[in-house]
Amino acid sequence: MRQLFGVSWAELYDCAASQRARTTRSSCLICTAERTPYLDTSLRGSWTGLDPRHDRVSMLRSALEGVAFAIRAALDSLPGIAGRVDHLRLAGGGSTSPAWRQMLTDILG
């Protein structure tokens, strides 16, 4: 997504803070661009619910949400783990973004 939209990591993570997730079904934008936990290299990304109300920032935010929901799906697929994770450790550059950490916290519960 960074390459597609020509944004830096900082700009991408700023999109996480730029707007709250939409809660109404009619305005919901969903991005699936992550293969976890399916491990199928033929899968491709897509946006569902895209309409003229959505801008570049909302598309980038939905991409981050897609990654966070993929992490959730990966955790849920682990035998004996689902619903029992008390804490996680984040590593890498994204872990320095408060907005990304908050998005992960919200989605992972």
Q: pLDDT tens-digit profile of 84-97?
A: 777 888 888 888 89
Tell me whether residue 103 is exposed, middle or buried, using C-beta atoms within 10 angstroms of its C-beta: 0 to 12, 13 to 18, 19 or more: buried
Residue with tokens 């992550």: 34
Q: What is the pLDDT of residues 50-83, one digit of tens each?
A: 988 888 888 999 889 888 888 888 888 888 776 6
CATH assignment of the domain containing 21: 3.30.420.40
Instruction: Specify the pTM.
Output: 0.82
- Domain containing 95 equals 2-108
Strands (E), the chain: 30-32, 46-48
